[in-house]
Amino acid sequence: MSKTLIRGGRVIDPESGFDGEADVMIDGDSIAKVGTGLSGADETIDAKGMIVAPGLIDMHVHLREPGNSEEETISSGSAAAIAGGFTSVVAMPNSEPAVDNEASAAFVYLKASEAAKANVFPVGAITKSRAGEELSEMGLLSRAGAVAFSDDGDPVSNAQIMRSALDYAAMFDRPVLSHCEVKELVGSGVMNEGERSCLLGLPGMPDAAEEIMANRDVRLAEITGGKLHIQHITTQGSVDIVRTARARGVKVSAEATPHHMFLTDADVATFDPSFKMNPPLRTEADAEALVAAVVDGTIEAIASDHAPHSSEEKAIEFLYAPFGCIGLETTLGVVWTKLVVEGGVDASIVIERMAAAPARILGLAGRGSLAEGTVADVTIIDPAKQWTVDPATFKSKSRNCPFAGWELTGKATAVFVGGKLFEID
């Protein structure tokens, strides 16, 4: 078993509270030791000036396989993850067919191990075929390695079904990841409902459509004792709901995406479908509330909601284009630039939101941490590296990126996945 030493970087391990200059020794596929003046490695990586963090985990990605492989595959998605500094991604079940049975969960693991890049953890559907009517076989799915349950892409519109889901999934200690959207209120909406949608004449998606369901799910989590995680939270109102619920002791966590934190509905004025997402980009006030909540920990995790679409699909009228943008290869850079470099937020907070918290929320044992004996998933970040976002160079098969052309500071230069080194150009 070979030993690799990562020497002299700023090691940030939020789980243990360690933050300082140190060496990290990897032995085979696990972390052997974190300390100073370590030696005896077969290979040494000089990490001076770098950040050495537990492997980043993107807990919300869409990999489109099976069903829409021209947009992305498990292989291209896991390569894109590595390029973005992620060692693990959590794949949503809205492939075609949906991941609502053990065989399809096993398929994800199989394809991921064939690709041999980032780890891919499948999420099982809450309901069969994501149709919102009958619970999926959560027990068998859990046994097959599904780490959580979600009907993402769609909400669970029937409150009784959601109640049962939270209740039942708790038995297997799995969280329910909720896409909060009251479909009747959203209707044919394609952007945030407000002044800008009024000016543009595009049908709107009201903030209340997210908040009403977030509130519903929080109450259901409260009465069932289940674990709720609110996906892609976007409004001030939703933030307040999560804050007060946590204060009451409800088991609820939340994630925010970089596009919701740093873009707004003003960006839709050009009718460019790169800015069409569900949930939609909201107002400046909402974005500011999200950033503040991410910084103070009310929102525990940052995730990309990586949603690949082919160029043909996105190069049409805004009204008809599919929702979603990619994010695996820009999330770290955008978050680092806006929060750490421009916002003065400490790097440890970013590492907590992007590594420790996702591992904790999903119960991923041995991940999100650099403790001795844990899996050697490590991300090395150059906090000063300047680069420009050029989707043409992405490892993802898709190019629908709203940050195209952005000048960023901060990029992952290498990752270790289970002790195997991947250098990032």
Partner 1 sequence: MEWKRKHLLGLEELSAEEITTILDTAASFQEVSTRSIKKVPALQGRVVVNLFFEASTRTSNSFALAAKRLSADTMSFSQSGSSVSKGETLIDTALNIEAMGVDCFVIRHSAPGAALLLANSVNSSVVNAGDGPHEHPTQGLLDIYTIREAKGRIDGLKVAIVGDIAHSRVARSNIWGLQKLGAKVTVAGPSTLIPRGIEAFGVEVSHDIDEVLATSDVINILRIQLERQERRNFPSIREYAQIFGVTQERLSRAKKDILVMHPGPMNRGVEITPEVADGDQSVILRQVTNGLAVRMAVLYLCMGGGGGGKPVDN
Q: Which are the catalytic amino acids?
A: 305
Nearest to partner 1 of 200, 424 (CB atom):
200
SS (H, E, C) 99-165: CCCHHHHHHHHHHHHHHCCCEEEECECCEHHHCCCCECCHHHHHHCCCCCEECCCCCCCCHHHHHHH
- Contacting partner 1 (CB under 8 A), which of 285, 315, 365, 384? 315
Q: Is 317 in the site for partner 1 (CB under 8 A)?
A: yes
| Contact status, residue 202 vs residue 190, Cβ threshold 8 Å | yes
Distance of CA 218 to the CA centre of its chain: 21
Nearest to partner 1 of 312, 425 (CB atom):
312
DSSP SS3 for 37: coil
Nearest to partner 1 of 106, 404 (CB atom):
404
Structure tokens at 212: 């009403």
State the minimum distance, in angstroms, from the CB of residue 235 to partner 1: 14
Nearest to partner 1 of 318, 416 (CB atom):
318
Q: Is 195 in the site for partner 1 (CB under 8 A)?
A: yes
| Contact status, residue 155 vs residue 183, Cβ threshold 8 Å | yes
State the minimum distance, in angstroms, from the CB of residue 198 to partner 1: 3
**CA–CA dist 94, 100 (Å, integer):** 9
Q: Is 318 in the site for partner 1 (CB under 8 A)?
A: yes
Distance of CA 120 to the CA centre of its chain: 12
Q: Is 86 in the site for partner 1 (CB under 8 A)?
A: no
Nearest to partner 1 of 159, 198 (CB atom):
198
State the minimum distance, in angstroms, from the CB of residue 327 to partner 1: 24
Q: Is 317 exposed, middle or buried, given 0-12, 13-18 or 19+ CB atoms closer than 10 A? A: exposed
Q: Is 247 exposed, middle or buried, given 0-12, 13-18 or 19+ CB atoms closer than 10 A? A: exposed
* DSSP-assigned letter for residue 254: E
Q: Is 247 in the site for partner 1 (CB under 8 A)?
A: no
Q: Contact letters (x/-) for partner 1, 196-225, by CB under 8 A?
A: xxxxxxx-x-x-------------------
| Contact status, residue 9 vs residue 379, Cβ threshold 8 Å | no
Structure tokens at 267: 């960006």
- Report the amino acid identity of residue 233: I
Q: With CB under 8 A, what is the number of residues at the site for partner 1?
A: 23
Q: Is 405 in the site for partner 1 (CB under 8 A)?
A: no
- Contacting partner 1 (CB under 8 A), which of 140, 319, 404, 421? 319
State the minimum distance, in angstroms, from the CB of residue 188 to partner 1: 6
Q: Is 421 in the site for partner 1 (CB under 8 A)?
A: no
Closest CA to 232 of 153, 157, 148: 153
Nearest to partner 1 of 121, 318 (CB atom):
318
- Contacting partner 1 (CB under 8 A), which of 160, 188, 344, 425? 188
Q: Is 323 in the site for partner 1 (CB under 8 A)?
A: no
Tell me the window of 168-176, 308-316, 342-350, 393-401 that interacts with partner 1 (CB under 8 A): 308-316
Q: Is 312 in the site for partner 1 (CB under 8 A)?
A: yes
Sheet containing 149-150: give its strands across: 149-150, 176-178, 228-230, 252-256, 301-302
Q: Which residues bind partner 1 (CB under 8 A)?
A: 187-188, 193-202, 204, 206, 270-271, 312, 315-320
